[in-house]
Structure formats: C-alpha cells, structure tokens
Chains A and B, each alone.
Chain A
C-alpha cells in the first residue's frame, strides 16, 4: 500500500508519464478533432420527396401526400411532421425526437414509406426518395462560376464541376443555382397544327415511338457472331426536324420541322444568381453550393473542395474566360467564432492565474497555473475519444469548468503551503498529509458540482442535446482536475516547492485576511448570531428576498435562446405573385446597390427568382417553395466582428429600414431577414400555426392574424409560410359536348397539357457519357413571341383549341366550363392537417412577450372563425415550456442527489439542509441581477442556475465543515458558527472569485453565453456574501448541542482546511 502511495504521489515517474500522456493526447486531439461551429447533433430528420409529373397540388395532396402521411402518422417520437404538396411533387419533412436512434428512425421511416407506396394511384408516381438531413441544410461553401462565355458552355462546365465535387465523400449534395438546363425543345406552332388538323398527341406519339434504341439479339454465324442493335434514338436536331408526322393525301408528307420549331437550347430561365465582393459590382454567374454530409469535418471538407476546384480550373481543357471564385465559406466563420471563444478562454486562464498569484506564492501559483492548460488538453482528449467534435459549446463548457476546477488546485497548493511552510514538514510528508486531508473534501466538492450536472445530461429534445455537451465537458474536466491535482501536481511540484521551503514570508492576502477575519467574526457575533431570534430574523429576511425574487422572475422577459452574432444573414424579398423575372431583377438591382454601399457588409450573393439557401435551411422551410419568379434573395456575409461596431443583430433594423427605403417605389413587397444567431432551430421565434380544413378560409384567417401580429410591438418581418396565393382557372368538361365531337377526356386533357407545359418525352442522345438533354414538347404562345413559356395573359386561355379526330379544331371553352379560384402555391400540412403558419422575428421584445400580447386578440378572433379552425403557438415558444419544465425536473433531481451525497458525508439530515439553503439564496442573486441588468431569461440561464446549485453548495460545505471542527475543538455553537465563517472567508471568496473571473470574459464576448455565465456570476456573488452570515445563522438555529461530537468522527480533520488561512 505504501509502495503504491509512493509510486503515485511521491515518485514523479508516474506523474510524468501521465503528464506526457495527457499532453500528447491533448495536442493530438486539438490538432485532429473535427472542428465546427455548432455541435453536429445527430437528430434523425429526413425529407421524403415524391414526384408525379403533371399532377396538380391538390392531386398530390390527396393522392400522394395523404397516403404517406397516414402511414407515417403513427411513427413514435416525431417532433416535426410537416409536408408541402406542389405542382408535380410532394415533400414531407419528418424530425424525430433527438433521443431516437438515427438507424432505427430511418429504418422505420423506410418501412412506412414502402407501405404507403402501394396506395399511390398511378404508376406515373415515382418512387419516394428519402433524404437524411443534418442540423442545417445551408451550404458550407459557395463557389461562383462566372465569365464571359456562352451560356451553354457555362451549363456544361457547371455540371462537370458538380459531378466531380460530388465524388468527395463528405459532400452530401452540390446545388447549382442560376443554371439553365439545356433541352431539346420542340415548340409546336398552334396555327400550323390546326390548319393541317394534326393533334399535338400525334406528334408526341410519333416522337416517342421513333426515339428508341433496342438490342435486337444476336446473329450467330458459323464463323462470327454479330449483335443486332436498333440505333433509333435521336442524335441530331435535323433528324428530329425530318421526322414524318402524318401524310395528307398521296404526296403531302408533314414533317415535324414544318409544324414546330426544333432546337437544342437553354430551358426557360428560372432564376439568376449574382455575387458581389466588397465594393465591386454584381457579377452574374452560376453558384455552386456545397452541402455537407451530417457528421463531416467542415473545415477539411472546405479545404478539399477548394483544392479540387483549383485542380479542375487549372486543367488544360478549362475555358479560359471562365473563373471559379469562392464567395463564402464557413471556415472563416468557424475559425472566427473559435478564436473568439478561444480568446475568452485565454483571458479566463490569465485572470485565474492572476488570482492564484495573489492567493498563493508564485511557485504554487505556477504549479496551479500550469495545471490549467494540461487539464483542458486532457479534457479535449477524453471528449475526442468519446466521439465529440471540437466546437464552440465544448469550449464554453471548458471555460465554465475552468473556474470550478481551479478550486482543486488551490486546495491542493494551500495544503502543500501549509505543510511545507506552516508545519515545516518535509516535502514527502507534506504531500502525504495533503492527500490524506484534502482528497475527500476535494472529491466531495467536485462531486456536488458533477451531481448538479448529471440531471442536465438527461434532458431530452434538441435543446437538451444541444446543451448536454456543456455538463459532459464540465464533468470530464472536473474529474480530470482531481486526477491531475493529486497524481501530477503533487509529485511534480517537488522541483518547485521542495527548494523553497524556507521562504515562508506572509503573503499580502494573508495580512488582509487577518484584518477582516476578526471583524467578520465580531460582526457575526454582535448581529446575526446575537440570539436565535436575530438569526431567525436574518434567515427570514433572506427567505423573503428569495420569495420576492421569484415573483420578479415571473415578470422577466424570457426566451428559449438569445441570438448571438452571426456573420451570415439572409434577406428574402417576396414580390407580388404575378411578378416577372425582369421585375425581380430590378428589385434585386436596387437592393444590391444599397447592400454594396454598406461598409459592414463584406460580400453577398443575390438570388433572383429564388430564395437564399440561408432562408430555407430548416426542415420547416425546406418544404416551402424556394424557386419562383416573385422571389429575390440575398446571402450576406458581414465583415468580421472586430471590424464593425455592432453585433450582427443590431444591424438588422438599420438593414430593414435601408432596404425599405431603396424599394419604396415598388408595390406589394415583403422583406424578411433571416438571422439565425446560432440558435439550434434557426427558425423565426414567433410562430402562430393556424389549422383548418379549407385553404380559402385559412388564407383569410392568416391575413387577419398577420395584421394583428404586425400591430404587436417587437414583431417584425411578419409573413406567413403560404405566401401569396395563385389564381387558378378550373375547367370542367361538358361530357355531352366531348361525346358529340368524338373526343375523350384524356385526349383533351393531354392536348391542353402539352399546350401549357414543357413536359419531357424521352431524351436526346449525346456523345460519350455527357448527360442526355431532355426532349421537351411545348407550344408557342402569342404573348411570348420567340421566348419559351406558357401564356402570359388570361385572354390567351380563350385561344386554347382542341383538335378533334377528323382534324378540325374547336375552342376549349366549347367543351369545358371554367371558373377562377385562388389557391395557394403549395399545400402545407402540419401533422397531416392543412395549416398556415404566421411568423415573425422578435426584436426588442421576446417572442413569449409578443405571443402573450396577441393571445387575447387571437382568442377573440377565433370565436369568429368557422367550426374546425384553430390556432396554436409553434416554434421556440412551443418548446420552451417543455425545455424549461425538464430543466426544473433536472434541478430538483440535482438538489436531491446533492442532498443524498451530503447526508452520507455529514452523516446527518439536518446539516445538508443548511447547506442546501444556500441554493435559493444563490438563485435569489441570479434573479435580482437579471432584473437589474435586464437580462432575458433563457434556456442557458436556467442551465446556469442548475450549475450554480452545484457550485454554490461547495461554499456551504466548506463553511459547515469548519464550524463542525470548531465545535469539536470545544467552541460553543455560536462561536463555532462565527469563527467557522470568518476562518473560511478567504477560501470561499477566493474560489468564488476564480469562478466569477473565469466566466466574465466569456460572458462579455458573446450575447448567447451572457445569460448562462451571468446566472452563475450573479448567483455566486450573492451566495458568497449571503452565505457568510446566513449559514452561521442557520447553524445556530439548527445545531443541537449534544450530538456534535459523535457526528463527525468519520470526517477527516477539518482543521487543516483553514490552516493556511489561520496561520495558527
């Protein structure tokens, strides 16, 4: 046993080895761990996309989305279950509870989707695709391909880049924006068709049957064998032009070229992208947005992408006029966010080190100070081994842990100090005494903190998972600090401390302590401890303060998260639904001029005819339409925080006003800004979900609610997710008329479909392995001239004609009735019900306050809605009750665990209660501090409170132990209480001070950590001050005379704890 002790604590070989191991592993982990901004939580979410070309949103909703939803509905543990039914496709977004295993969730999902497939109405419905989604679907790096080349070349090169980049295994998907696909367009001339009596269906059928390759088997001769092959597919436009369609009379052959315009050309322009680097003008190009596979290393991925991009663009066949520019990449954002937290970690370490210098001699301070980085490195190594990534949350956990773990080092060093300088023991004896006397209290002190953390790890949901990393990091750091303190610091301090055994000069702090110790003891004896009544008075006053603080906290503004600085912003501008691409471009131009003149904006990408990917990166926004001519989007990258005056979110109202001014002569625009601010969900915080059976009614209700929400102060950027409705002309056939003309419904329907759309019928053969362009059949419309696309004016609908079997044509209006209705662009479901979400950002007020303000009005409105229509709050606020609630449970659990530990330690039920009483006092400090400094109560603040419980009780433990030891030395309860508190004043204040100073740099660096840090800071300040007289008062009130002596036999000798302070 002694041998082991020698090995562990005295010989420094083991210590050295351990130190070497920690340093090596830590450095290794630091260099190799995946770095990311946010922890990449493994939350099972998926997007199920099913396409059915040619089906209307209503058909998709009823016949594709609904069967799928019916199957999926009874999956367990779904958090989000939403869908969008579009023209031709359906999207269903599913997010499972964060605690459901990814593999199981995906397996269940696949099984259900397979089951639903059998209910699809037609074989034209394609097989649903299931795409697994990460936390954020925003691109990690965006490149732009630009240059003065032909659009067809641009398209080819962009597709080539996409193909090559997607070969990188960590890339999930590469999205090309502003790209025009090329297709072989056959644009029928309606008057020719009618003059010749050729139905578009004849053309279609001829084309499909002629465009065919087929293997014709093998010819096996005696001497050789041949494969027979029909090489029928079109490989030149001329061959398509020459395709015979019909023969009229004997010698009148109508070829496709006569009745249609055939050309291989770019598709209808759907969207454009432009980019702007600091100060320059907007340049048009094709954006290449790279999406990361969940779990991949972002920085490595970006490096690899850049390398490959450079390689591709330096190949000899690269068109010289083309350039590939990296416009945004998350690497800078991650590194910056890293360096910010890293900076505050360094600052915290330095501050703690300075405190150590004041509290201890420089040698001891040096040992403790050196132990800090070792602990952090070791923590990183352990976390890396546990499979965590190196992210901001881990760093925050480490900063939080810093102030707590340093207590162990102080304790150990004080023990050594006392042994070496006060008791004049040999180094070895001092070490063994320190171990003997401090091991248990040190472990107990850290254990209470860890016990407070454990329940926090059990909180479910995204928020729980998001925050879980902090308690894990703290726990690991605290455990490691114990190992390092005893197994490394003690043995290895020999070289520093052994020689200095003679230098026992009194430190400055000792002098100060001496002066105030007696003052405190005197004051305690004269005031709170004068009598039990006095003591009770103080306790009641403190408890009263607690009650008051609880009342106050109910009135404090609360939100699940506060936003933090975010360099990436999204701007979405929605034009009136009938807007053209040109109109969208003119709006984008105006806004672009404003944006490029702002000095705090570094660069931006403009999306004309589409939303910015920033605005559609969450599950709920992914199912919304992202490409439409009435959309304009900007992705903005701000200059680094150090180069601008304000936090990103403080620019938002300026930005909004600025944009508003530039577009003040444009009617009917909605501008909304996406500022994710590092929140886990990244959604708009204010969400009101409206459910009901009919969209016509829902749209009216949504308009009312939008109006009401806009009237709420603090609600900005009010919009609904349905967007502007589209006018739909609904036709219904007159069966008798169709019958008279010998027409079939399906025939007419398909003729009109060809006239209105650009459907694909087969593909066109290209050389080699190039993508085969689609063959698309469409109709030339009068209002379009030579441009592609459907009719622009309603009058043209009346020009639609149908060709009958005998070759004559009749107006569509002759065989069908029509009426005009308004329908949403997309049919959105929430949990299988038709739903609209009215949403806004919250600025200057919290989402909860805004929702509380609008609730009475909504209730009033709801009474006027028809049966079956209802509202509910969504977004953060719907989760906040759950999250706050589960934190409450965690808090109670933490207190109970601490109580059990303390009961075991003190072998008493009463004394732990005294210690636990410090928790409400600490929280009183937090609440009052929040109240005075206008801090928003967030999830982080609540986490801070739970952590606070674990930290604050440490002070109580130390005080109580000292008081007990005084009692054992024969002092009266009153004196024991007074001198116990006075003796422990310095260590209590010093440990609190290290914790507080360790947190301050982080609190001031980023608003998102402010609440969490300040909860602990305010609480510790309050608990430290109040504990100095409330704990003695409680001790006086609750300690019985007779039992004291027996109770503490099992405890180590408490006197050593205050030895260094007493200098006795």
Chain B
C-alpha cells in the first residue's frame, strides 16, 4: 500500500509541475522590454553670430604701379647704381621724390647725342633766320626812305602841274613813282613779319629739343620696389608700341616700379552673388585655400592671410564672362601678397547676429528635407523638420524647427527613430 501512495504522490507532483510549466510556456509571450537607450552627444542651441561666405579668386595688382619708359629710342648708356656699386635690379627698393628733392632716384639714361644735334641745327637755323630778319628790317627802312622821297617829289610836281608849269606827262610819272614807293614799303614790311615768325618757330623747336633731352633719363616716381628691369646697359631701346594690357606693358616697359604697401584684386563673381556682395565687406585673401581654411578655424585672428575690403562693385554684368567685377583693396599689412599673385578670396558677405545655427553634420535628410532629433525632458528623441537659412562655412542657420535652449543630438542620430530612448553623454557644451 505504501508503494501505491508513493506512486500517487509522485504522480501528483508530476502533474502539478507539468501544469506550472505549461502555464509558463503559454503566458510569457506578450511582454515587451524597453531597449537600451541609444547613447548620443548633444549640443545646446544658443543664439550666435553666423557669417556667410562667397568664394572667389583673382590676381593681386599693386595700387600704385609705374611702367617707366624712355619716350624715344636710344642706346642705354646708364643704369642706376646702388650705394654698394651694384646696378639696380628686380627686388631693389627705390625712393621717389620727397620734400627736399624734386626728382626721385635716377634709374636709367639712354644716349642723348641725336637730340643735341637736333638742338644745334635748330640753333643754326635760328641764327640764319635772325640774319634774315635784320635784312628785312634794312629793306623796310630803305623802302620808307624811297617813299618819303617819292612823296615830296610828287607834291612839288603837283603844285607845278597845277600852275601848269609841267606837262601832264611829268605829273603822271611822279604819281607812278609815289605808288611804287608805297608798294615797296608794304613788301619790306611783310618780309620783316615773315622773318619774325620764323624765329618764333625755330625757338619753339629749340625748346622742344631741349625738353626731349631731359626725358632720356628715368627717375623713380615714388617709394617702391622694382619688379621688372627690361633694359641692359649698352643695348638699344625702342619705345613700345601698341601696348594695351597691363600684362603686355609689364613685359615691355623699361623699368616697372611698384608700391607694395597696398594692393587691389579684381574679382569676377558669378552674377547670382550680386545681391550679397556690397562695398565695404571684409575679404580674406591668401595664396591658397588651405591657409584660409586654417585661419577660419581661429576666426581669422591669426594665420597666413591678408585682410581686405571691397572697394567697389560694378553695377553691370560683364557680357564676356557673365560676371560681376568687384575690386578689393587690402587694408593694413599686405606683406603676404606679391604683385601679380593669384589669390584666393573669401568674402564675408553677410553677418547675422543672434541666429540659431547647427553644424552641418548634425543634419539628417529625408527626400532632401533636413531634420534633427531633439532630446525631450524625459530623454527621448523627437524628430524635428527644419527650415534652413543662411549657410555658413561649417554651420547653417535654422529658421524654424528648433528653439534656443533645446538639446540637439549631434552624434548617434543614425540609430534613432522618433521616440527612441536616449542617454545623453557628457555634454560638450
């Protein structure tokens, strides 16, 4: 009997255990676990200042640049010398006129013998002309004397004739003599006038000749640097002809002197930037984008760049290139620039104060529409569609979608969906 109870007891235990397990199997399915929160980095949106940029490039040209040329051809006889006896050359700093010195540094001279010969021939001409004037004056005196004699002769003959003492013939002869004398005097007068005119003309030529003699020398017009010397001592020089562009002038002028303290850059901007580019905007110039890129990280407080301002904006669009000519002039230290350097220009076109902005990498896009996730007070991600405004270099203005003081998820957003639980990591701000 004991066995039977034992068996019954075991059976009962088995059944109870079975029921319990069966219950477990059938009831556990409905539960839901909360997935672990996604770890995210956030940024607190605060109003800030945002710059918008227009990028361009152009060639730097010095504001003051003299293309010095002899105005006549000739052999170069002298090239200016420095205090150490070396000839002037590219890169040498030269001095222009100042208060006490009327002319700048003498840079070069060409042979002036031909001009001197000209002056001499003119002078000879002047002498002979002067001789002729004297002759004419003497002729005039003679004619006057003849005339006086002819007049007195005529008045005597006329009186006699009126008394009938002389014949009609006699009277007519005297009358003709008088007329002849008067004609001779007129001729002598005009001969003298011609001689005077000729003297004046030769004198003018003379003056001319002496001026050209001065122009065979070149003087530095202002303080600056020689950027080009295209003449050699002993070579013959011909003045350039048909030169139009500054590029050609640069190559053909005898000596080019540049003032390297201030430059102008002409930028050709696409027409669609017309609205944003204004006179007076700040421009950063550098040899390459890398330098500007580095400088931008410091807010243009340091770096290898030159600051400039927009000097003028042409109101018309060039037909050839459909672009807008903008002139930019450097401000302050421009030692980073050389004349003729091809420069990258970053124009800070617009500065907006007090705007909400987000870094580019924070934004996600769906069908081209940007959105971000905002951390709600209960640590969930909330999807917000955005309207973007001004585009900065790394950040972009957000017009609608987020408000100041909200926490925007900057990293980890690719794992989120609207309503996901998030864990905010040690906030960077």
CA distance A730 to B40 in the complex (A): 28
> In the bound complex, do residue A820 and residue B289 qualify as a contact, i.e. CB atoms below 8 Å apart?
no
C-beta contact mask, B51-73 vs A, less than 8 Å → 1, else 0? 00101110000000000000000
B26 neighbours in A (Cβ, 8 Å): 555
8 examples of A-B residue contacts, CB within 8 angstroms: A576-B411, A667-B411, A668-B415, A707-B35, A853-B29, A853-B30, A932-B17, A932-B21
Given A668-B39, A932-B21, A707-B394 contact (CB < 8 Å): no
CA distance A795 to B249 in the complex (A): 39
B364 neighbours in A (Cβ, 8 Å): 727, 822
Q: How far is the CB of A215 from chain B (nearest CB, A)?
A: 44
Q: Is A738 in the interface zone, CB < 8 Å from B?
A: no
Given A194-B342, A668-B414, A820-B368, A711-B34 contact (CB < 8 Å): yes
Given A782-B288, A811-B270, A822-B364, A713-B412 contact (CB < 8 Å): no
Among A696-704, A1004-1012, A1047-1055, which stretch is in contact with chain B? A696-704
A577 neighbours in B (Cβ, 8 Å): 414
CA distance A555 to B18 in the complex (A): 13
Q: Which of B21, B55, B417 contacts A931 (CB 8 A)?
A: B21
Given A725-B414, A740-B322, A713-B289 contact (CB < 8 Å): no
A821 neighbours in B (Cβ, 8 Å): 365, 367-368
Q: Is A900 in the interface zone, CB < 8 Å from B?
A: no
Q: How far is the CB of B251 from chain A (nearest CB, A)?
A: 9
Closest to A823 in B: B365
Beyond contacts A820-B370, A852-B29, A932-B17: 9 other A-B pairs, Cβ-Cβ < 8 A, are: A667-B425, A668-B39, A669-B412, A718-B35, A796-B289, A796-B293, A801-B57, A820-B363, A822-B365
CA distance A661 to B289 in the complex (A): 43
> In the bound complex, do residue B270 and residue A814 qualify as a contact, i.e. CB atoms below 8 Å apart?
yes
> In the bound complex, do residue A727 and residue B32 qualify as a contact, i.e. CB atoms below 8 Å apart?
no
Q: How far is the CB of B43 from chain A (nearest CB, A)?
A: 12
CA distance A796 to B394 in the complex (A): 10
> In the bound complex, do residue A696 and residue B366 qualify as a contact, i.e. CB atoms below 8 Å apart?
yes
CA distance A660 to B366 in the complex (A): 30
Given A576-B411, A809-B57, A782-B293 contact (CB < 8 Å): yes
CA distance A796 to B344 in the complex (A): 13
A-B contact count (CB 8 A): 135
> In the bound complex, do residue A799 and residue B55 qualify as a contact, i.e. CB atoms below 8 Å apart?
yes
A504 neighbours in B (Cβ, 8 Å): none
Q: Is B176 in the interface zone, CB < 8 Å from A?
A: no
A703 neighbours in B (Cβ, 8 Å): 416-417
Closest to A795 in B: B393
> In the bound complex, do residue A191 and residue B344 qualify as a contact, i.e. CB atoms below 8 Å apart?
yes
CA distance A821 to B365 in the complex (A): 6
Q: Is B22 in the interface zone, CB < 8 Å from A?
A: yes
Q: How far is the CB of A430 from chain B (nearest CB, A)?
A: 42
Which residues of B386-429 are within 8 A (CB) of A?
A: 393-394, 411-417, 419-420, 425-426
Q: Is B1 in the interface zone, CB < 8 Å from A?
A: no
Q: How far is the CB of A893 from chain B (nearest CB, A)?
A: 31
B420 neighbours in A (Cβ, 8 Å): 707
Q: Is B374 in the interface zone, CB < 8 Å from A?
A: no
C-beta contact mask, B323-345 vs A, less than 8 Å → 1, else 0? 00000000000000000001010
Which residues of B241-263 are within 8 A (CB) of A?
A: none
> In the bound complex, do residue A819 and residue B368 qualify as a contact, i.e. CB atoms below 8 Å apart?
yes
Q: How far is the CB of A693 from chain B (nearest CB, A)?
A: 14
Given A191-B287, A668-B413, A668-B415, A727-B293 contact (CB < 8 Å): no
Closest to B41 in A: A667
> In the bound complex, do residue B366 and residue A700 qualify as a contact, i.e. CB atoms below 8 Å apart?
yes
> In the bound complex, do residue A191 and residue B342 qualify as a contact, i.e. CB atoms below 8 Å apart?
yes
Q: How far is the CB of B13 from chain A (nearest CB, A)?
A: 11
Q: How far is the CB of B12 from chain A (nearest CB, A)?
A: 15
How many residues of A are counted as interface, with CB atoms below 8 angstroms from the partner's CB atoms? 61
Q: Is B31 in the interface zone, CB < 8 Å from A?
A: yes
Q: Is A880 in the interface zone, CB < 8 Å from B?
A: no
Which residues of A926-967 are within 8 A (CB) of B?
A: 931-932
Which residues of A251-266 are within 8 A (CB) of B?
A: none
A852 neighbours in B (Cβ, 8 Å): 29
Given A665-B426, A811-B270, A670-B25 contact (CB < 8 Å): no
Closest to A801 in B: B57
CA distance A195 to B287 in the complex (A): 10
Closest to A710 in B: B35
| Interface size class, chain B | 35 or more
Q: Which of B34, B288, B412, B426 contacts A191 (CB 8 A)?
A: B288
Given A811-B55, A819-B368, A712-B33 contact (CB < 8 Å): yes
Closest to B412 in A: A668
B36 neighbours in A (Cβ, 8 Å): 660, 710
> In the bound complex, do residue A669 and residue B342 qualify as a contact, i.e. CB atoms below 8 Å apart?
no
Q: How far is the CB of A327 from chain B (nearest CB, A)?
A: 31
CA distance A696 to B367 in the complex (A): 7
Q: How far is the CB of B407 from chain A (nearest CB, A)?
A: 13
Q: Is A501 in the interface zone, CB < 8 Å from B?
A: no
> In the bound complex, do residue B292 and residue A576 qualify as a contact, i.e. CB atoms below 8 Å apart?
no
Q: Is A666 in the interface zone, CB < 8 Å from B?
A: yes
> In the bound complex, do residue B293 and residue A578 qualify as a contact, i.e. CB atoms below 8 Å apart?
no
* Majority DSSP secondary structure for residues of B touching A: mixed
B393 neighbours in A (Cβ, 8 Å): 793, 795
Q: Is A189 in the interface zone, CB < 8 Å from B?
A: yes
CA distance A932 to B364 in the complex (A): 52
Which residues of B373-395 are within 8 A (CB) of A?
A: 393-394
B425 neighbours in A (Cβ, 8 Å): 665-667
B-side residues, CB < 8 A to A, are: 17-18, 21-22, 25-26, 29-36, 38-41, 53, 55-57, 268, 270, 272, 287-290, 292-294, 321-322, 342, 344, 360-361, 363-368, 370, 393-394, 411-417, 419-420, 425-426
A-side residues, CB < 8 A to B, are: 189-191, 194-195, 552, 555-557, 576-578, 660, 664-670, 696, 700, 703-704, 706-707, 710-713, 718, 724-725, 727, 740, 780, 782-783, 785, 793-796, 798-799, 801, 808-811, 813-814, 819-822, 849, 852-853, 931-932
Closest to A728 in B: B365
CA distance A748 to B416 in the complex (A): 38
A801 neighbours in B (Cβ, 8 Å): 57
Given A552-B22, A808-B321, A713-B411 contact (CB < 8 Å): no
CA distance A710 to B416 in the complex (A): 12
Closest to B396 in A: A794
Q: How far is the CB of A741 from chain B (nearest CB, A)?
A: 8
B411 neighbours in A (Cβ, 8 Å): 576, 667-668
> In the bound complex, do residue A190 and residue B370 qualify as a contact, i.e. CB atoms below 8 Å apart?
no
Q: Which of B53, B288, B293, B417 contacts A783 (CB 8 A)?
A: B293
Closest to A548 in B: B18
Pick from B26, B289, B413 the residue with the most CB of A within 10 Å: B289
Closest to A707 in B: B417
Q: How far is the CB of B21 from chain A (nearest CB, A)?
A: 6
CA distance A798 to B55 in the complex (A): 8
A820 neighbours in B (Cβ, 8 Å): 363, 365, 368, 370
> In the bound complex, do residue A713 and residue B33 qualify as a contact, i.e. CB atoms below 8 Å apart?
yes
Q: How far is the CB of A826 from chain B (nearest CB, A)?
A: 15
Closest to A709 in B: B35
CA distance A169 to B325 in the complex (A): 70
A669 neighbours in B (Cβ, 8 Å): 39, 412
CA distance A707 to B363 in the complex (A): 21
Closest to A815 in B: B270
B56 neighbours in A (Cβ, 8 Å): 811
A849 neighbours in B (Cβ, 8 Å): 29
Q: Which of A195, A556, A711 contacts B25 (CB 8 A)?
A: A556
CA distance A413 to B31 in the complex (A): 59
Q: How far is the CB of B358 from chain A (nearest CB, A)?
A: 12
B55 neighbours in A (Cβ, 8 Å): 798-799, 811
CA distance A796 to B290 in the complex (A): 10
A557 neighbours in B (Cβ, 8 Å): 25
Q: How far is the CB of B361 from chain A (nearest CB, A)?
A: 6
Given A194-B57, A782-B293, A667-B365 contact (CB < 8 Å): no
Q: How far is the CB of A395 from chain B (nearest CB, A)?
A: 34
> In the bound complex, do residue A782 and residue B289 qualify as a contact, i.e. CB atoms below 8 Å apart?
yes
